Amino acid sequence: VYDTLADWETGYTTAFLAQNGYTVRTVGPEREPVTTMGGLRIQPDLALAELRPEDSALLVLPGAGLWDAGDDLAPFARTARAFLDAEVPVAAICGATAGLAREGLLDDRAHTSAVSF
Protein backbone atom coordinates (compact mmCIF):
# COMPACT_ATOMS: atom_id res chain seq x y z
CA VAL A 1 0.00 0.00 0.00
CA TYR A 2 1.22 3.48 -0.82
CA ASP A 3 -0.09 7.02 -1.09
CA THR A 4 -2.51 7.52 -4.02
CA LEU A 5 -3.26 3.76 -4.10
CA ALA A 6 -6.27 2.99 -6.31
CA ASP A 7 -8.16 1.45 -3.41
CA TRP A 8 -10.89 -0.15 -5.56
CA GLU A 9 -8.49 -2.31 -7.57
CA THR A 10 -7.73 -5.01 -5.01
CA GLY A 11 -11.15 -5.73 -3.50
CA TYR A 12 -12.03 -8.96 -5.31
CA THR A 13 -8.50 -10.30 -5.08
CA THR A 14 -8.01 -9.73 -1.38
CA ALA A 15 -11.49 -11.04 -0.53
CA PHE A 16 -10.89 -14.20 -2.58
CA LEU A 17 -7.48 -14.81 -1.03
CA ALA A 18 -8.70 -14.21 2.53
CA GLN A 19 -11.69 -16.51 2.05
CA ASN A 20 -9.48 -19.26 0.68
CA GLY A 21 -6.99 -19.60 3.50
CA TYR A 22 -4.42 -16.93 2.71
CA THR A 23 -3.39 -14.23 5.13
CA VAL A 24 -3.44 -10.84 3.39
CA ARG A 25 -0.81 -8.46 4.73
CA THR A 26 -0.41 -4.85 3.70
CA VAL A 27 3.08 -3.55 2.99
CA GLY A 28 3.93 0.14 2.85
CA PRO A 29 7.11 2.07 2.13
CA GLU A 30 7.40 2.25 5.92
CA ARG A 31 4.92 1.38 8.67
CA GLU A 32 3.39 4.87 8.67
CA PRO A 33 -0.21 5.21 7.43
CA VAL A 34 -0.79 5.90 3.74
CA THR A 35 -3.75 7.64 2.10
CA THR A 36 -5.49 6.10 -0.90
CA MET A 37 -7.05 7.93 -3.85
CA GLY A 38 -10.40 7.46 -2.15
CA GLY A 39 -9.13 9.14 1.02
CA LEU A 40 -8.87 5.96 3.11
CA ARG A 41 -6.02 5.80 5.58
CA ILE A 42 -4.31 2.41 5.75
CA GLN A 43 -1.83 1.36 8.42
CA PRO A 44 0.61 -1.08 6.75
CA ASP A 45 1.32 -4.37 8.51
CA LEU A 46 4.93 -4.33 7.30
CA ALA A 47 7.48 -1.95 5.86
CA LEU A 48 8.76 -2.86 2.39
CA ALA A 49 12.21 -3.60 3.82
CA GLU A 50 10.64 -6.32 5.99
CA LEU A 51 8.94 -8.15 3.11
CA ARG A 52 10.53 -11.44 2.07
CA PRO A 53 9.57 -13.50 -0.99
CA GLU A 54 10.19 -16.75 0.88
CA ASP A 55 7.43 -15.80 3.35
CA SER A 56 4.94 -14.93 0.61
CA ALA A 57 2.68 -16.69 -1.89
CA LEU A 58 1.96 -13.65 -4.08
CA LEU A 59 2.80 -9.95 -4.41
CA VAL A 60 -0.05 -7.70 -5.56
CA LEU A 61 0.85 -4.20 -6.73
CA PRO A 62 -2.21 -1.99 -7.33
CA GLY A 63 -2.22 1.12 -9.45
CA ALA A 64 -1.61 4.54 -7.93
CA GLY A 65 -1.08 8.07 -9.14
CA LEU A 66 2.50 7.89 -7.86
CA TRP A 67 3.51 5.20 -10.39
CA ASP A 68 3.75 7.88 -13.07
CA ALA A 69 4.68 10.85 -10.91
CA GLY A 70 8.33 10.09 -10.19
CA ASP A 71 10.38 7.35 -8.57
CA ASP A 72 8.63 7.09 -5.19
CA LEU A 73 7.32 3.61 -5.98
CA ALA A 74 10.44 2.30 -7.75
CA PRO A 75 11.38 0.31 -4.60
CA PHE A 76 8.15 -1.69 -5.05
CA ALA A 77 9.14 -2.53 -8.64
CA ARG A 78 12.58 -3.62 -7.43
CA THR A 79 10.84 -5.80 -4.85
CA ALA A 80 8.78 -7.34 -7.66
CA ARG A 81 12.06 -8.30 -9.33
CA ALA A 82 13.18 -10.08 -6.16
CA PHE A 83 9.85 -11.93 -5.99
CA LEU A 84 10.09 -13.04 -9.61
CA ASP A 85 13.70 -14.12 -9.12
CA ALA A 86 12.45 -16.25 -6.20
CA GLU A 87 9.66 -17.64 -8.45
CA VAL A 88 6.92 -16.01 -6.38
CA PRO A 89 4.10 -14.68 -8.60
CA VAL A 90 3.57 -10.93 -8.97
CA ALA A 91 0.26 -9.36 -9.98
CA ALA A 92 0.51 -5.76 -11.14
CA ILE A 93 -2.68 -3.81 -11.75
CA CYS A 94 -3.17 -0.73 -13.92
CA GLY A 95 -0.42 1.85 -13.29
CA ALA A 96 1.76 -0.66 -11.45
CA THR A 97 2.45 -2.31 -14.81
CA ALA A 98 4.19 0.90 -15.89
CA GLY A 99 6.44 0.62 -12.86
CA LEU A 100 7.30 -2.97 -13.75
CA ALA A 101 7.97 -1.92 -17.34
CA ARG A 102 10.37 0.82 -16.19
CA GLU A 103 12.15 -1.81 -14.09
CA GLY A 104 12.52 -3.92 -17.26
CA LEU A 105 10.36 -6.73 -15.91
CA LEU A 106 7.98 -6.83 -18.89
CA ASP A 107 10.61 -6.81 -21.63
CA ASP A 108 10.70 -10.59 -22.02
CA ARG A 109 7.52 -11.55 -20.18
CA ALA A 110 4.00 -12.02 -21.48
CA HIS A 111 1.61 -9.50 -19.93
CA THR A 112 -1.75 -7.86 -20.50
CA SER A 113 -0.71 -4.26 -19.95
CA ALA A 114 -0.95 -1.50 -22.54
CA VAL A 115 0.55 -1.97 -25.99
CA SER A 116 4.22 -1.06 -26.21
CA PHE A 117 5.58 0.90 -29.13
Residues noted as catalytic: 94
Amino acid, res. 14: T
Alpha-carbon distances of 1 from 7, 114, 115, rounded to whole Å: 9, 23, 26
Quote the CA–CA distance of 91 and 13 in Å, as a whole number: 10
Positive or negative torsion for Cα 42, 45, 50, 52: negative
- Look at residues 74, 75, 6 and name the one whose alpha carbon lies nearest to residue 34: 6
